[in-house]
Amino acid sequence: MKEQLIEIVIGGCRNKRSCIRLTPQGNCLATNRVAVLNCKEYRPFTVYWGNGKIVVRKGNTTARKSSIFLSLPLNYNLDDVNVGLSTGFGSSGRWIIEGTYLQNV
């Protein structure tokens, strides 16, 4: 299977839209229009993939109030995944990468 780039945008459009895209700068196939970032505090997010879907949750794996805010069903599984992080269009950011493991949803 050809390698596919999937974009997960968190707090895009000046923190007015988060979404999942199956092509770079493509159409948003799963969208949430709630402000989720705050430049004055760390906000954890968790990304899961497996069982034919991608899920993004607010909170980390130990958060009591972790909630799904983006979910996209796929008609295939993501078997071999590479992850890259970046800010968009002149923004700056910091990331804390916690434990790295694959967990099916």
Tens digits of residue pLDDT in 77-104: 887 777 778 888 788 888 887 765 544 4
Spatial CB neighbours of 81, under 8 Å, sequence gap ≥ 6: 49, 102
CA separation for the pair 48, 55 (Å, rounded): 5
All structural domains of the chain with their residue ranges: 7-73
Predicted TM-score (pTM) of the model is: 0.82
